[in-house]
Amino acid sequence: MKKLLLLIVLMFSVLTSFGQTKTIEGVSEYKLIKSGTLDDKNNEVDGFYFFYKVDNLKKGKAEYVIVLLDKNLNEVARKKYIDDKKISLVDAAYNGDQISLIFINYKQKVIKTVGYNRKGELLEPYEFEVSEKDLKFISGMGKRFGLNQIIQIYPIDNKGYIISYMTLIKKMKYRMHYISTSGGKNWMFGEYKKDKLHRSMQVYGYNDKVIVFAEINRKSLMSKKTSHHLKVVNIDNGKVIFEKEFNKDSKNVEDLIMMTNASFTDEHIILMGEYYPDYKSTKKLKSDGLFLQKYTYAGEKISDERISWKDEIFSKFQELNNEKGKNFIFFHNIIKVDEGYIGIGEQYRKRASAGGIAAFALGGGSSADISNLVITDAFFFKFSENFELVDIVKFDKGKSKVPNIAGLSSPQIGALVAKARGDFDYVNTQKDSKNNRLYSTFIDYERLKGEKNKYSYKTIIYQDGEFKESKFYLSNKNKSIKAYPAKLGHVMIYEYDKKTKKSTLHLEKVEVE
């Protein structure tokens, strides 16, 4: 999705007068180097940025221009920025206090943030050193996956930013830097200099008090033996409030959990995901059900609610399930609402591929060819405040067949890989806390009777305790249409008129009558 967003914001350059316009005789060019969105943890787009190089200056310096558009696509700032020629803009974010852009400066060997306050004034930059080896690693990985996948920025509301990146200290390790924008203390997390483990991280949620993430450790990159540590770190000082570990020696079955996401209230940290009966099941991701654990911010466990597939969810799911075979639900998110919790999932099943099996048997194919994942309907699970299942609501979607890259592994592992590849139809969910609403978006491929199949942009809106669907098609006879995330409760629509060859970009409210 991020890549798609980059594509769309590139198109903005057409709209801005500062686009890649050539001046007389090509004497001077405004070269667009990077553009992107300023989005927050709720998948809301707060604005858009464009980074241009406009001039080469003496002593290895260059003049750049940073153009910022607000969430309504109005240009609000055009700032001059002088720095070394050898820099890359990684990404930018807005935390309610300031707009920060992260740069890598290859000459000075630093990662640095350049910030503007809400008056548009340039603030003192913050930078930290990076070794030559790490720079090469970041640059190489960045070329392959995108720099903003290797260095990530998490805006902490009105407080600061966390920047995470990978470093090569003996082995591959993650590191986090917290930069306060409100006069607080800066800290660094991940000082694992001596150990010989590869350590990676996955963030499940954060607010202005804590960041919740999993640290995944393994001895070698190809090793299947991993240990998972769930860590909850205090934003103000970078100290671990509590952590949980599970590995093959784990004795405490209660801790055999796999997070989907973390959510927060003023008093509690809420961890949500799937639980497992034993360590072996975790390897195949064969969970027993869903869990919801509540902790205080001091790390005291308040509750641990569990709901099993077998006893509680399965029968209700089967009532709605029209598909044959063994079907599963992949949970994309579990979100706190005023009435309790809403689980958002998609139905899938593993299906053998006849052609793939034949090719595999003859030695001509890979294990990935022998099966597909069939992704079907969207399911919304309504849970009470005590995490009891209240209702399941299904929304029909067309069948999507995607290759099961995990091949001979369990369907659950196949689904996890499909999720990482972006193969599911689910796009994201925005939460409107003020009005207790959710907007969950899917891109669906619909097979229509008597007309050409079409992609549709489907948003399931949770409003006044009910789920309703809002939908529009992403093509018609004369236009090709693309839809992208935008500010809360909106969609950004790009239309290309095939006849006039004109394109337009506009924001529209997502709603049902």
Partner 1 sequence: MNRKNIVALCFFMTWCFLSYSQTNKNEYSYSNFGKREQVIQQIEKVIKQKKDEVYSDKYKKDKVEIYDNMLVSLKGNFNDSVYVFNKILNDKLTSIFEKIVASNPQIIQQSHYTLIDKNIIPNASSYGNGLFTVNLGLFFLLESDAELAFVLSHEYAHQELKHSKAKIDSMMSAFNSEDLKNNTKRIKKMKYGKGTAARAFLKKMNFAFKKNSRKNELEADSLGFQFYKKTGFDVNASVSALEKLGKLEELVFKEEVNWKSLFNVNGYKFDFTLLEEEEMMFDLDAKTNDYEINKDSIRSHPHIKERVEKIKEKEITIASEETNNEYKELSRIAKKLCVKTSIDHAKLDIAFYLISSEIAKGNEEYYEDLGSLLKKLYFIKKNRLIGKEIPHPNDRWNEENLNSIRKFMHNISLYQLKKLSKAFLTYHIEEKNRKELESYYTFYKQL
Q: How many residues bind partner 1 (CB under 8 A)?
A: 47
Is 241 or 486 the residue whose CB approaches partner 1 more closely?
Answer: 486
Provide, rounded to whole angstroms, the least separation between the CB of residue 445 and partner 1: 20
Give dist(CA 510, CA 472) in Å, integer.
10
Q: Is position 431 an interface residue for partner 1 (rule: CB under 8 A)?
A: no
User: What is the footprint of partner 1 within residues 440-479 (CB under 8 A)?
Assistant: 472
> In which element (H, E) is residue 139 found?
helix 132-145
> In which element (H, E) is residue 401 found?
strand 400-403
Give dist(CA 18, CA 77) in Å, integer.
12
CB 398 within 8 A of CB 362: no
Residues 69, 75, 76, 81: what is their CA dihedral angle, to the nearest 10 degrees?
A: 80
Distance of CA 280 to the CA centre of its chain: 28
Stretch touching partner 1 by CB under 8 A, among 75-83, 104-112, 172-180, 292-300: 75-83
Is 102 or 375 the residue whose CB approaches partner 1 more closely?
Answer: 102
User: What is the footprint of partner 1 within residues 258-317 (CB under 8 A)?
Assistant: none
User: What is the footprint of partner 1 within residues 110-169 (CB under 8 A)?
Assistant: 118-120
Q: Is position 236 an interface residue for partner 1 (rule: CB under 8 A)?
A: no
Q: Is position 74 an interface residue for partner 1 (rule: CB under 8 A)?
A: yes
The C-alpha angle with vertex 478 and arms to 474 and 482, in degrees rounded to 5, equals 25
- Residue from 3, 7, 20, 80 touching partner 1 (CB under 8 A): that is 80
Is 73 or 253 the residue whose CB approaches partner 1 more closely?
Answer: 73
Provide, rounded to whole angstroms, the least separation between the CB of residue 495 and partner 1: 8
Cβ neighbours around 124 below 10 Å, total: 6
Is 71 or 173 the residue whose CB approaches partner 1 more closely?
Answer: 71
- Residue from 23, 252, 315, 318 touching partner 1 (CB under 8 A): that is 23
Q: Is position 54 an interface residue for partner 1 (rule: CB under 8 A)?
A: yes
Percentage helix, strand, coil, to 5, in the chain? Answer: 15, 55, 30
Q: Is position 57 an interface residue for partner 1 (rule: CB under 8 A)?
A: yes
Write the CA distances from 90 to 112, 153, 208, 437, integer angstroms. Answer: 10, 9, 23, 33
Nearest to 44 by CA among 72, 20, 83, 22: 72
Structure tokens, 143? 């070329």
Q: Is position 47 an interface residue for partner 1 (rule: CB under 8 A)?
A: yes
Binding residues (CB under 8 A) for partner 1: these are: 23-25, 27-30, 38, 46-47, 54-58, 63, 65, 68, 70-80, 94, 96, 99, 118-120, 472, 487, 493, 495, 504, 506-509, 511-513
